[in-house]
Structure 1
Amino acid sequence: MNKKNYRYLSVITAISVLVVWFVITEVLSISTLIFPSPKSVLIAFGEVLKTGYKNYSIWRHILDSLKRIFEAFFWATIIFVPLGLLCGYRPRLRAIMEPIITFIRPLPPLAYYSVIVLWMGIGDESKVMLLFIAAAPPIYVSCVDGISKVNVDYINAAKTLGANKFQIFWKVMFWAALPDIFTGLRNSIAGAYGTLVAAEMVAAMSGIGWMALDASKYLRSDIIFVAIIIMGITGLLLDSVLKLIDKKVIFWKGKE
């Protein structure tokens, strides 16, 4: 089956979801307070698009959330890509870092967010820090795994040609691990986005996550769905950008 057929199936899936949504809300007459209809969500979207939500335009909410995510993702990438690669290359350093990452990874964000707020206040710094902690482990784990499973034949071939340790690390191991690094980056930004609502719970006045939380206080399930859909679409766009960069940078992937 070619790519065109796969896209066709994706469109069918999306249409099927919309049809099921319509049937549940319109035919079965479920209360809109519990489960809004596609029509009410569309009306709510037009409302926030035209007048904004709580003194801010929808674009301001989106940009504020993306700013927090990008800042956290940037620092997680800058710090944990080199650290993960080094830990994969140096077992001693990995033994030092592994307990810390293993301890942080399964912790739910709300478990330590109150501590971050106590340390850093209620401004954007604490929100970015929470997103940073969510974004860091996937990058670290993917980098370590990528370095650890580099084909030994590549390393031996480089040694045979007279490469030193730095050349082996940079010109062989790094590039061989690059597919795993990009997988980690995609998982990282997804993890950060999944933590967005928790990050915007405390003392936020804008952001898509905050919009969903605030709307829940007033039983505006239609606004909640608008926020969820916006988060889903922007998340898909961010992932698509990373996939495009992945395809351009790692042009040899799948051609070994």
Structure 2
Amino acid sequence: MFRKFFLVKPAAPGKVYGAPGAGNSVFISVMTAVVLIALWFLITRVGLIKPIFLPSPGAVYDKFIQAMTEGVANSTLAQHTAASLSRVMGAFFLALVTAVPVGILMGVNRIARGLFDPIIEFYRPLPPLAYLPLVIIWFGIGEFPKVFLIYLAIFAPMAIAARAGVKSVSMEQIHAAYAMGATSTQIIWHVILKAAMPEIFTGMRIGIGVGWTTLVAAEMIAASRGLGFMVLNAAQYLASDTVIMGIIVIGFFAFIFDLLVRYLEKILIPWKGKA
């Protein structure tokens, strides 16, 4: 049984040499998750770690049921999740419609590159907590600064990915399009943008991941609902079961959205890796 999952399979027809890393890894991933969960059960069962530091899976599940029905931190889990999803997805779509055009513009125009590149490269390495106080001073403690903080975190990787995608276009493609009478606008739309799509989708995946990691920092701004707020509130009372439950929920939604972006990538750019 295990041979077909762990042994290298013959190359597919038309592919004499198998590509490095080719093959299905789903079984290995599932088994890794099963082993980790089994270790979690075992460690908490024999009492190697105190429950205040690592609660049992059963305790985390009970807290999940309680959060779904009775609620924690003055809201149900559905309400916390809806608040966080609205912030992350709002910031993501706002970054998508601004960062991608800016990145493409940086790739095709030296003036735009000179204007935006120093700003993006300056704040990109900064952790969101570094400019969180400034966001609060500028915009207060309402809903907008939470979304804006996540937006800033997503904007930089998406813009850089779009710019890298533009730079990946071969000059032969551009020259061929010009030779067939294409205008500059047609070159950008039909040649450069399509060639940059794989990098843009990579930036989208990185961006949505960064957005979820920034969520906790964003919900430090006088939030009353949200998964990050729920985790921070539980940490103040050493409620590790709630903390772990919140981490699992955040990780679950981050993983689902990553799968969704991968699926859209496969549908919208089927030529990736084939040309």
Calculate the TM-score normalised by the size of structure 1: 0.96
Aligned residue in 2 for 1:225: 244
**When you count helix as a share of all residues, which structure comes out higher?**
1
Aligned residue in 2 for 1:46: 65
Aligned residue in 1 for 2:97: 78
In 2, the alpha carbon distance for the partners of 1:83 and 1:248 equals 25
Given the alignment, which residue of 215, 222, 240 partners 1:203?
222
Aligned residue in 2 for 1:56: 75
1:145-160 matches, cutoff 5 A: 145-160=164-179
Given the alignment, which residue of 235, 239, 246 partners 2:265?
246
Aligned residue in 2 for 1:131: 150
Question: CA offset at residue 19 of structure 1?
Answer: 1.4
In 2, the alpha carbon distance for the partners of 1:227 and 1:4 equals 33
| Secondary structure, counterpart of 2:272 in structure 1 | coil
Aligned residue in 2 for 1:21: 40
The one-letter amino acid of 2:208's match is I
Aligned residue in 2 for 1:106: 125
CA deviations 1:38-93 (Å, max 9, x no partner) are 12111111211221112311111001000001111111111111111011011221
- Comparing 245-254 and 214-223, the one that deviates more: 245-254
CA deviations 1:89-133 (Å, max 9, x no partner) are 112211221110011111111111111111111111110110010
In 1, the alpha carbon distance for the partners of 2:45 and 2:111 equals 61
The one-letter amino acid of 1:62's match is T
The one-letter amino acid of 2:205's match is R
In 1, the alpha carbon distance for the partners of 2:240 and 2:129 equals 23
Question: CA offset at residue 28 of structure 1?
Answer: 4.3
Cα RMSD between the aligned structures?
1.4
Aligned residue in 2 for 1:92: 111
CA deviations 1:221-251 (Å, max 9, x no partner) are 0000000000000001111111111111001
Unaligned runs of 5+ in 1: none
Unaligned runs of 5+ in 2: 1-7, 10-21
The one-letter amino acid of 2:84's match is S
In 1, the alpha carbon distance for the partners of 2:120 and 2:174 equals 28
Aligned length: 256
Q: Are the counterparts in 1 of residues 80 and 227 from structure 2 also a CA contact under 8 Å? A: yes
| Secondary structure, counterpart of 2:25 in structure 1 | helix
In 2, the alpha carbon distance for the partners of 1:156 and 1:28 equals 68
- 1:187 counterpart = 2:187: no
Question: CA offset at residue 255 of structure 1?
Answer: 1.7
- Residue identity over aligned pairs, in percent, reads 39
Displacement over 4 Å in runs of 4+: 1-5
Judged with a 3 Å threshold, the aligned counterparts in structure 2 of structure 1 residues 249 and 101 are, in CA distance, closer, same or farther, namely: same
The one-letter amino acid of 1:85's match is I
In 1, the alpha carbon distance for the partners of 2:66 and 2:79 equals 15
In 2, the alpha carbon distance for the partners of 1:154 and 1:210 equals 50
Judged with a 3 Å threshold, the aligned counterparts in structure 2 of structure 1 residues 114 and 224 are, in CA distance, closer, same or farther, namely: same
CA deviations 1:5-49 (Å, max 9, x no partner) are 521111101101101222222224311111112121111112112
